[in-house]
Amino acid sequence: MSDTQTAAAVIDTLKPILGDRLVTSGAVREHHSHDTSWMAPSMPDAVAFPRDEDEVVAIVRACATHGLPVVPFGAGSSMEGHTIPVRGGITINTREMNRIVEIRPEDGLAIVQSGVTRKQLNEELRATGLMFSVDPGADASLGGMASTRGSGTTAVRYGTMRDNVMALRVVTPDGTAIHTGSQARKSSTGYDLTHLFVGAEGTLGVITELTVRLHPIPEAVSSAVCAFPDVASAVNSVIETVQYGVPVARVEFLDPVAIAGVNAYSGLDMKVAPTLFYEFHGTPNWVAEQAEIVRGIVDGHGGEDFQWTDNADERAKLWQARHDLYWATKAQRPGCELYTGDICVPISRLAESIAAAREDIDASFLKGQIIGHVGDGNYHTAYLIHPESKEELAEAERLGDRLVERALAIGGTASGEHGIGVGKLKFLRREHGDAVDVMKRIKAALDPAGIMNPGKMGQEG
């Protein structure tokens, strides 16, 4: 929490504007003191629930006047402590900024307030034949997904938030509302501020509105599953598939531990082996042809029991098993929680990277599994720990750090999609070197008083 008098002055300023949408109750502040991660919680002084950009401007101006921190908060599903108000201040929860401003099917775009969630948008899009493609698993807000540069299973085909945000409205740290980008598909005018705010984790301003790209819902969808003798064979199949130009919509890797968990939890009998789940999108003919091409490729790499289906029920069952992984894994050790790693490496180094991660887990007293969005070279480790055990948490941290260090040594990144937050700050300079000083100069230029989500990227690291 911040200096009480400063916070009180801001609250006094904002109360007449926000009324009961400015909350100082302990329960609400506690709810905004943490995210889904293991980072130490910290309470905001108050939580604001603005409904529009004007109210966000008022909040930021009040905080700028008094030097009080401002922390943007979407659905609270971030995984590295991004939204923890480590220096107190006002948390801006965007859940009431949930208006879909405009859907323009003929331009393949939607304009939404930043609190709109991806499921809400896709529900609204259903009648148009279009979809918003980015799927991080959680029903995150689009503002949060943009701020974390989020992605998920479909990024291999449709891209990440980097690729799907066309334009933004942002309130900068001095309380000015600006727009970035345009409704045109491409532009060569001006510094690319859209991409500067995407992934800035709320440290450069508050995103109030996004213009996002939409994609046609495919006419046909089919899925396939295939077991491999080893990780290298699975990964080499993916490399060859991408090199061949097959536009796979999803390609997910599950290691034997994950498969065993899914079998037990979902009553399936998949072979316990390194396994790929594929999804293909297109016309019925093209989807069938993609599956045939991939069958040929996996045959060449010792893939067994390649099974594909365009039956919606079977497909749903397969992907439900993938989506149930979180619960399936937790079921392996009752009372445990998952400590998650998230790295991305050049795909040519993926097999060795996964093998080393598996060796680390096998040599540890913790259990763990590996799953990945392997078409992008991105994968997650999940270590099963008891939340009250400091020893287990420390071991999970040790494994997670080694994972990142190996990724950085081979040209990879400390986070494929979860972000820096608090948890990965220690790796920022190791990955980006002197470029971190450039980031800090940008932060200081845009936020000289350091009020926007302080104690994070741009100030630390």
How far apart are the C-alpha atoms of 202 and 148, rounded to whole Å? Answer: 9
Is residue 119 a contact point for its own copies (CB under 8 A)? no
* CB 172 to its own copies: min, Å: 6
**String marking each residue 320-349 x if it binds its own copies according to CB under 8 A:** ------------------------xxxxx-
The answer to whether residue 183 forms part of the interface with its own copies (CB under 8 A) is yes
Q: Which of residues 394-433 bind its own copies (CB under 8 A)?
A: 407, 411-420, 424, 427-428, 431-433
Residue 222 interacting with its own copies (CB under 8 A): no
Q: With CB under 8 A as the contact rule, which of the stretches 33-41, 269-277, 320-328, 436-444 interacts with its own copies?
A: 436-444
Subset of residues 184 to 213 that bind its own copies, contact rule: CB under 8 A = 184-193, 195-196, 198-200, 204
Q: Which is nearer to its own copies, 114 or 172 (CB)?
A: 172
3-state secondary structure of 238: helix
Report the half-sphere exposure of 178 (CA within 13 A, side-chain side). Answer: 14
CB 454 to its own copies: min, Å? 16
By CB under 8 A, residue 449 contacts its own copies: no
Asked whether 375 and 247 are in contact (CB, 8 A), the reply is no
Tokens representing 308 are 């594909």
Counting contacts by CB under 8 A, is residue 109 touching its own copies?
Answer: yes
CB of 168 to its own copies, least distance (A): 10
Using CB under 8 A as the binding rule, the residues of this chain from 355 to 394 that contact its own copies are: 376-378
Of 17, 293, 355, 393, the residue at the interface with its own copies (CB under 8 A) is 293
What track of x and - describes contact with its own copies for positions 34 through 63 (by CB under 8 A)? ------------------------------
| Block residue for tokens 């006094």 | 12
> Binding to its own copies (CB under 8 A): which residues in 86-105?
104-105
- Cα dist from 194 to 53, 168, 225, 250, whole Å: 17, 6, 38, 26
Interaction between residue 180 and its own copies (CB under 8 A): yes
Neighbours of 19 (CB within 10 A): 8
Q: Report DSSP state, residue 452.
A: B
Cβ at position 290, least distance to its own copies in Å: 9
The answer to whether the CB of 42 falls within 8 A of the CB of 424 is no
18 vs 170 by CB, closer to its own copies: 170
d(CA 18, CA 129): 38
Inter-helix orientation angle 350-363/231-244, to 10°: 160
∠ Cα 158 159 161 (to 5°): 125
Q: Which of 95, 179, 315, 367 binds its own copies (CB under 8 A)?
A: 179
Q: Strands 337-340, 250-254: parallel, antiparallel or unpaired by DSSP?
A: unpaired
81 near its own copies, rule: CB under 8 A: no
CA 386, CA 393: separation in Å to the nearest integer? 8
Query: Residue 112: phi, psi to the nearest 5?
Result: -135, 150
